[in-house]
A = this chain, B = another copy of it.
Amino acid sequence: MAETRTPDSTRRSERSRRAIYDAALSLVGEAGYGRTTIEGIAARAGVGKQTIYRWWPSKAEVLLEAFLERGGQAAESDPALPDTGDLEADLKQVLRATVDELTDPGFEIPYRALAAEGVINADLGAQFVRKLLEPGLQLYVDRLRAARDAGAIDPDVDPRVAVELLVGPLAHRWLLRTLPLTHAYADSLVEYALRGIAPR
């Protein structure tokens, strides 16, 4: 049986790890995902190619980890959606913030690169969803469950499906660029969705 060479992570160079993340994110931002190469990342990071191949299985995973490392703080800094008691206002605020984030250049390009890779590559896609997407969606689920318990929405509605009513159309516009992604659109989605899941 082929023994997978497992490098000793205690001796890993922290300096190189960070340099690789920086190089990967900046290169993807400058040249796009397709034109970003392992060799290019290694060169910009001042690192041997083998150091990348030793610790990551693919270009996509380097980028995913780089993104988690950089974007992770933002997600962790605000661990819950606001709960002012006004569900509609709360959701509009958060959905508008999501719109702003998705249209923020610097965030958009690598995020698109990861999403696109995940569309094709099921493995990477699963990681993308689990590590990047789900934590954010879970906040919505929690907020909606609270709203259901408070009688603000139909108790028969699956909160998870309700979340998708909100973010699905948003993601659709963003990923496929069908129509402009605006605050007004975010507001409309909240209104229609809340009517759709209101108590009968």
Contacts and interface: CB of A to CB of B under 8 A. Distances in A.
Given A116-B117, A157-B192, 5 more contacts: A161-B188, A165-B193, A169-B169, A195-B196, A196-B196
A175 B119 contact: yes
Contacts of A185: 161
Q: Which 6 A-B pairs have the closest CB atoms?
A: A196-B196, A168-B169, A168-B172, A168-B168, A192-B196, A116-B119
A168 B192 CA distance: 13
Interface of A: 32-34, 112-113, 115-120, 122, 125-126, 128-129, 133-134, 137, 157-158, 160-162, 164-165, 167-173, 175-179, 185, 188-189, 192-198
7 contacts: A112-B120, A119-B176, A125-B176, A157-B192, A165-B169, A167-B172, A195-B195
Contacts of A172: 164, 167-168, 171-172
A34 B176 contact: no
A119 B129 contact: no
A120 B116 contact: yes
Contacts of A165: 165, 169, 189, 192-193, 196
B113 A120 contact: yes
Given A116-B120, A119-B116, A126 B177 contact: yes
A177 B125 contact: yes
A122 B175 CA distance: 10
Nearest to A171: B172
Nearest to A192: B196
Given A161-B192, A165-B193, A170-B168, A178 B119 contact: no
A160 B179 contact: yes
